[in-house]
A and B are shown apart, each in its own frame.
Chain A
Amino acid sequence: MQKRLLLNSKHLSITISRLCHQLIENHLVFENTVLIGLQPKGVFLAERIKSKLEEIIKKPIQLGYLDITFYRDDFRRRDEPLTPNETKVPFIIEDKNVILIDDVLYTGRSVKSAMDAMSAFGRPAKVEFLTLIDRIHTRHLPVEANYVGKQVNTVFSQKVLVELTEQGKKEDKIWLIDKSK
């Protein structure tokens, strides 16, 4: 197994800062825009983005958590059912601009499931997708992110491991792991 560091703590902080400025370019003061982090790890990233945005624009921003377990298309294709996480969308998304946030974009199936799950809360005006790591050439569905932290060329035998301090890790580290070596 071979590990390559994609982002360290400092790079992650710069990347989040850049993503926030890109979001502000398009959404200005976030009057009609909400953030939704995908459970489990997209939530940590979404929380960081929310606090950075609030620090810059000096206004509160609405954030929800979305669990996609019941909307996945691989139910019964796994050995056992997945354990769901909490969904908490304490606002109306009808006619809002929604920014879905996840840590890694891989096959695109999670994003598709997230859009299905999100539609249970109303019909948004527009949906955008933000990801920290975009694994290119691994897509099963025609899904692209609007905001990308870092693009990485990977193959299916590789895995992106996101370690954040919120998970009890000493420092933030994003790894590319090659399981075949």
Chain B
Amino acid sequence: MSQLSSKHLLGIKDLTKDDIQLIFETADNFKDVINRPIKKVPSLRDITIANVFFENSTRTKLSFELAEKRLSADVINFSSSGSSVKKGETLLDTVNNILAMKVDMIVMRHSSPGAPHFLSKHIKANIVNAGDGTHEHPTQALLDAYSMRERVGDLEGKNIAIIGDIIHSRVALSNIFALQKLGANIMICGPATLVPKYMSSFGVKVVSDVRQALEWCDVANILRIQLERQQIKYFPSLREYSLYFGVNKALLDSLNKEIVIMHPGPINRGVEITSDVADSHHSIILDQVENGVATRMAVLYLLAGTKP
């Protein structure tokens, strides 16, 4: 198999296990490319990609932009702040205007869940979901699973804990879909107020004791507390959150086992994770960043290779 089963990447839910394996195999080759003296290939030199970000982003946008440039694509960037969106233009009109400039692919972040799915029904260009509200963030899940596989090998039967603010996280949902497709066992851990009630319907274990989660898992993916998405208080204070759900070195040392620590960033140092953990040998946070470029190159390459 050398082709994805879909012409868009809207969510991990739509991908097959074979799709994920193909993305990983292709990413292996791109990881090799980005570690060469000349980190660029000409594959997408006749493709124009628009990064359409209706929501703030630093690392995802940078990672996509770098992946696009490493593939020699032409890149245009759009952000909603100070744009026509503020003047009342609809999503479809905005995107159609961008497409009229002969754009082949759209990488879109939007605060509304399902926005890229809506768009895919109305436009011809390939669409990559770079995060839609609290729904999915498929490329983050791909790079997370790729990084785990790189560190602990085949994920079949491995125990993965996702710890933190689950309810506001699009990473958690995409991670669950991706890891389950790859045969991993998943445990969710967080304060009851930050874990959606429907979580157990996904066939994952749900606990509220961070030590229990860490003792059980091979890999802990620790998520950020998304204060910007919290209109009400979900826990009394950051200090209390850190005390009960934060991962620190003393806790890791007391486990007396090898464990892989991940975090999609940006880190609230001292809240969900302490600096001595984030910068320790357990942590593969910077590998995640490097792998993000390689997996996004793989996704863009495979989607662009499909005739529109």
Q: Which residues of A contact B (CB under 8 A)?
A: 67, 69-71, 75-76, 78-84, 86-87, 116, 119-122
Contacts and interface: CB of A to CB of B under 8 A. Distances in A.
Contacts of A83: 2, 25-26
B42 A81 contact: no
Interface stretch (B90-98, B177-185, B299-307): B299-307
A121 B2 contact: no
B36 A81 contact: no
Contacts of A76: 46-47, 304-305, 307
B37 interface: yes
Contact of B26 (A79, A84, A119): A84
B2 A75 contact: no
Contacts of B25: 83
A70 to B, nearest CB: 4
Contacts of A84: 26, 29
Interface in B147-194: none
Contacts of B306: 80-81
A122 B305 contact: no
Contact-residue size bin, chain B (C-beta under 8 Å from the other chain): 20 to 34
Given A71-B42, A76-B307, A119-B38, 8 more contacts: A67-B29, A71-B43, A75-B304, A81-B3, A81-B305, A82-B2, A83-B25, A121-B36
A120 B2 contact: no
B32 interface: yes
Nearest to A113: B42
30 contacts: A67-B29, A69-B29, A70-B29, A70-B43, A70-B301, A71-B42, A71-B43, A75-B43, A75-B44, A76-B46, A76-B304, A79-B307, A80-B2, A80-B305, A80-B306, A81-B302, A81-B304, A81-B305, A81-B306, A83-B25, A83-B26, A84-B26, A84-B29, A87-B32, A120-B33, A120-B36, A120-B38, A120-B40, A120-B41, A121-B36
A28 B145 CA distance: 50
A122 B37 CA distance: 8
B304 A87 contact: no
B305 A70 contact: no
A80 B3 contact: yes
B305 A121 contact: no
Contacts of B33: 70, 120
Contacts of B42: 70-71, 116
